Amino acid sequence: MGNYSDSGEWADIVPIPQNDGGPNPLAAIAYTEEYSEAMGYLRAVMADNEKSERILDLTEHIISMNPAHYTVWLYRANTLFELQKQNQSDLQEDLLEELHWLDGISLRHLKNYQIWHHRQTLMTHLTSLPSTELPFLARMFAKDAKNYHVWSYRQWLVRHFSLWDTELPYIETLLTADVRNNSAWNHRWFVLFGQHVDPESGKGMDEVGNIVDEDLIDREVEYTKAKIRLAPQNQSPWNYLRGLLRKRGSLVECQAFAEEFGGDVDGKGEGCRSSRALDFLADCWAEEKEKEKAGKALELLAKRFDPIRKNYWNYRRELLGLGAVEA
């Protein structure tokens, strides 16, 4: 006996069972009896396109058993919006209540992307950002500071509610706590340069209109150099620095800075504190047509500082017209 078959509330519904391919399916999924029953009732109400309060209870039950079922999330969202029309209720209040319920689900299932799609769907119907939203995201990042789904959602949130001017202090807090947080570095780039992306072409304004904010680049270069000094082997700020300098067209302006960490390239690499710096210097020297010097940096990477990627470094040497080296 089940939850729904014994309930008078559901007596009018004839559940539709799962069809796994006939009476003797090749590989039937071993659902629990509770889940199978709930899904049978959901199929039935979906067939009738029913949108009612009991649908919210049913979908909540199914989500508690399988939070990755995207069809259930979609039907729940459509039911919420339809009920608001039927009841002429306060949509904002209803959605805030749904968000509060969703918070608990999110904290229990950190890597579930359907949850975040549902949250985004709710947010598109709100006229302003709820005061509880950013503190909730901070709780999520406290559990996993590099959660891809949460970061993707936060980027959407920044663009949707135009949070460009208020986001930077929070990113700096994250990078102060963990300078190796590559997700925070990526978000910093998005906040500072993503707002200038042309939504039609996908290109930055410096590409479509030749607009580069030199003061911003100067400030970010100095900020990034300070973070590199804290952890010279951290790849994220080196990549960030490359992106900044390429907006100006050349890496060479930071060559002397990279040499602080690159060590003795002409010898055996004594004093090298960062293979990332060697990689950066190789590109600087290649840009300046100093192929032999660039090749020596790549050789040190292949033979001493990063031999696991020997083939990649030799590929880079081949692009310079130089031969491969053995690790």
What does the pLDDT look like over 233-252, one tens digit per residue? 999 999 999 999 999 999 99
Q: What is the pLDDT of residue 87?
A: 82
**Coil, helix or strand for 306?**
coil
Q: Is pLDDT larger for residue 91 or for residue 69?
A: 69
Q: What is the pLDDT of residue 211?
A: 67
Q: What is the pLDDT of residue 231?
A: 97
Q: Which of 111, 143, 203, 268 is catalytic?
A: 111
For 67, residues 6+ apart whose C-beta sits below 8 A from its C-beta are: 105, 109, 112, 114, 115
pLDDT of 205 strictly over 80? no
What does the pLDDT look like over 114-163, one tens digit per residue? 999 999 999 999 999 999 999 999 999 999 999 999 999 999 999 999 99
| Mean pLDDT score, 23-51 | 92
Question: Which residue, among 108, 6, 98, has the nearest Cα to 64 in the 3D structure?
Answer: 108
Q: pTM score, two decimals? A: 0.89
C-alpha 161/C-alpha 133 separation (Å) is 12
pLDDT band per the 50, 70, 90 thresholds, residue 86: confident
The DSSP code for 302 is I
Q: Answer yes or no: 85 catalytic.
A: no
Q: What is the pLDDT of residue 1?
A: 41
